[in-house]
Chain A
Amino acid sequence: MAEDPVVSARNLRVCFGDVAAVRGVDLVLPRGRAVALVGESGSGKSVTARALIGLTGGVVTADELRIAGHDVAGLGERGSRAERAWRRIRGRVVGTVLQDALGSLDPLRRVGAEVADAARLAGTAVDVPALLESVGLDPAAARRRPDELSGGMRQRALIAAALAADPEVVVADEPTTALDTTRQAVVLDLLRARVDAGGSLLFITHDLGAARRVADDVVILDAGRVVETGPFRTVMADPASTEGRRLVASVPWGRPRGEALLPDAAARLPGDARPGTVATQGNAPAPATPAVSVGGAVPGPASSYRSDLAPQEPERRGLDAPREASPLLSARGVVVRYGGTSEPAVRGADLTLRAGRTVGLVGESGSGKSTLLRALAGLLPVESGDVLLRGEPWSALPERRRRARRRQLAMIVQDPLGSFEPRWDVGQVLTDALGRRDPRRVADLLESVHLDPTAAHARPRTLSGGQRQRVAIARALAVEPAVLLADEPVSALDASVQAQVLDLLDELQAQRGLGIVLVSHDLGVVRHSSDDIVVLQNGLVVESGPTEDVLSHPTHPFTRELIDAAPRLD
């Protein structure tokens, strides 16, 4: 290609004090293409992206760093001269979209003013209504403030602000991580449309399923270094690096129920075991050298993907209860209404959960899936309908009588940290759940979720997200429940940590015959981990049944929309 790339970086390094976050990254973004910069938390992908707008807050050095013809390699980030030079680049050369749309938009200003400002600062004129329309927003949204918009609309407004000055390259740093999959798909398609129209995009994500929707090429980062690069589809079909293989294997869509996503993960717990700062990792794995040779026993990452939605034989595992046994938990026509609202949050939901099986509740945020789960847990009153626990009344009981039977259920939530008493360490959390002092049992529990027993002395807030969720699962196991209620247990986690937690839940279910109700907005997660599926939309069950039956013959348009939006690689 004769044309100059819009971004080219050679040997880019970013240091914070004596900690090197980015350690020699080469990056080329050709004009009119989308490059996905993929890696886990701490791999240096966000810092790399921020180096392109001079906002790392650290010390940036590079043999070459050119952005649309501007040489910014020696610019630095401090001083008024550097600040002036960067200001010419930010906005008009590089447009930025960040993950936290609420934090990036001024809460007191109308969206239209914010978008127009972005153009004015860059010294260009802009037609705000047309711009909003081009990102799929009603032009009337210009008169609204950020808190009056939904998360997906805010993210689109932010994209509009990034595009306002018609930048040569858009840098999108995890722009969809806070959104559920259907809204994520809309935003990703929007970014892709700009690339198709000739724009250039650098897309930062930890999720290959999201990257697939936009990217032409992929650059995989690990510990501040590029470990693999190439055309997206080629790399996905046969990733050469360990990190690439791990990321590919972490995408749950199309992986058969019961198959471990990361079969060798328990041995090394990657991601979790990753030191917090890359500098502490003295011996980084050599790039592009497979550390483990993947033979026939382990499913080859790409080869085992099912590209079709044909029904799969659901795997029958050890403790599966016979069909005729009374269900562990069942809901009949459950209606839940929050105090003072006219519309119920859940409008008549049915659900049956048997031992050793998983029911997946899937829907967008606001569809009532978490509300239904809390009603099943007996944490919210049921307005009409019935929840039965082992065939006996549950929702109809007064809380006083429910309390004695509470320990048959356990719950894990999206934010495990908030569910731990902040003054306690892990050992105290587990001891409290056990109801007696028993250090051996605490150690056993930690062992069963693949945490080291020394974790008992750690404060939950010093643990990584994946470790926290493991502690939450250990606490759930402490009460030896028959039913585990899981509310978006993996949606705040990095892709490979998510895969590990899903594997762990599968493993524990096989060992203990747990019945699991799994709430997720991600159909890929639910499809891989559930025997039965309940699709919720606006508080209504629109479709339910055995997972593969429903997914191979979706009858409701919303189910088809979810299938289309699910992050996948095929």
Chain B
Amino acid sequence: MSAVPSLDAPDRRARRRRTPGSQAPGPLASQIGLWVLLACAAVLALAGLFPGLLAPGDPLAVDPAQAFQAPGWSHPFGTDESGRNVFTRVVHGAGPSLFIGVAATVLGVGLGAVLGLLTGLGRRWLDAAGSRLIDAMLAFPTLLLALLLIAVRGPGVAGVVVAVGLSSAPGYARLLRAEVRRVSRSGHVEAARMLGHSPLRIVVRHVLPGALGPLLAVATLGLGQAIVWSSALGYLGLGAPPPAPEWGAMLNAGRTYVTSAWWMTVFPGLAIVAVGVVATLLGRRLSAHLAGRSAGG
């Protein structure tokens, strides 16, 4: 008997969504926005990985005769107090800034994932202990932690990475714990239990994939935050030492001349803003995409 219900029948929800006057941006505008966003991300990644392609010069090359030049043809972002090319330095600064941001995020997500899984899946005492540890970490100020690490180890990139990573970890841990608990209670996990699947298989095939999606989206948001934080630490002189082209340190160096040579602070500042905005928008897109998928879009 070939009783074939048509499978392309949209469900009721999909039909309702097609009513006129929905506020979502049109698909075309949304597509263009996505491509612009991806292009910006590509440029930033290129600057981080191969700065020489965009700015062939040497970011450390000093030329006192050319000090404090306003932006012009030979140096689009101007020069600093030692005559170094600000454009070259901003491009070369992408590497250290992005590296610190990515490394800190990886550290934070990794640590947060371990804590989140332990508290989300573990027995009650483990959850209680882990959750209190997460609370304590959340309560500890980032800056103080960074100062502590630098006081112990001296200034440097490693201290910034560890400080920012440790500070962001509890947020990820809480998110993952909540996601793990949500998925564990869901109908499809109960269905998997009814099929006689082992707890390990259920965690690997249902709980983790379901819970990691939202974590990934939030981590992309967090990447921008981590870069801003590490720049802030660099600005305070707690990151890479002065001659290195690091955006936060460049802001700090330009601070003295902000009235006479605005370009020394504006361009590194804009770079920080650009990275933050791109990472945030990408993260939002990702989480909206994931939410739409699990809501049955």
Contact = CB atoms under 8 A, between A and B. Distances in A.
Interface of A: 16-17, 41-42, 57-58, 266-269, 272-277, 377, 379, 403-407, 409-411, 413, 415, 417-423, 432-433, 435, 450-452, 454-455, 458, 461-464, 467, 475, 479
B37 to A, nearest CB: 25
Contacts of B186: 418
Contacts of B32: none
A284 B1 CA distance: 23
Given A276-B11, A422-B293, A266 B191 contact: no
Nearest to A415: B187
B11 A461 contact: yes
Contacts of A266: 1, 3
A454 B10 CA distance: 16
B206 A421 contact: yes
Given A462-B7, A462-B10, A411 B191 contact: yes
Nearest to A472: B191
Contacts of B10: 276-277, 462
B9 A450 contact: no
19 contacts: A17-B18, A42-B12, A276-B8, A377-B194, A403-B198, A410-B194, A418-B187, A419-B188, A419-B190, A421-B206, A422-B293, A423-B209, A450-B3, A452-B5, A454-B7, A462-B9, A463-B7, A467-B7, A479-B196
Given A57-B20, A277-B15, A422-B293, A452 B196 contact: no
B5 A418 contact: no
A267 B1 CA distance: 7
Contacts of A419: 187-188, 190-191
Contacts of A406: 193-196
Contact of B20 (A16, A42, A268, A475): A16
B259 interface: no
B187 A455 contact: no
Interface size class of B (residues with CB under 8 A): 35 or more
Nearest to B194: A411
B294 interface: yes
B4 A273 contact: yes
B210 interface: yes
A423 B207 CA distance: 12
Contacts of B8: 276, 462
Given A276-B9, A418-B188, A423-B209, A409 B1 contact: no
B194 to A, nearest CB: 5
A63 to B, nearest CB: 24
Nearest to B297: A461
B35 to A, nearest CB: 26
B19 interface: yes
Contacts of B14: 276, 462
Interface in B178-225: 186-188, 190-198, 205-206, 209-210
B213 to A, nearest CB: 9
B26 interface: no
B21 interface: yes
Given A16-B20, A57-B21, A464 B194 contact: no
A468 to B, nearest CB: 9
Given A16-B18, A379-B194, A463-B9, 9 more contacts: A17-B20, A377-B194, A403-B198, A411-B194, A419-B187, A422-B188, A422-B210, A422-B294, A435-B195
Contacts of A467: 5, 7
Nearest to A421: B188
A276 B7 CA distance: 9
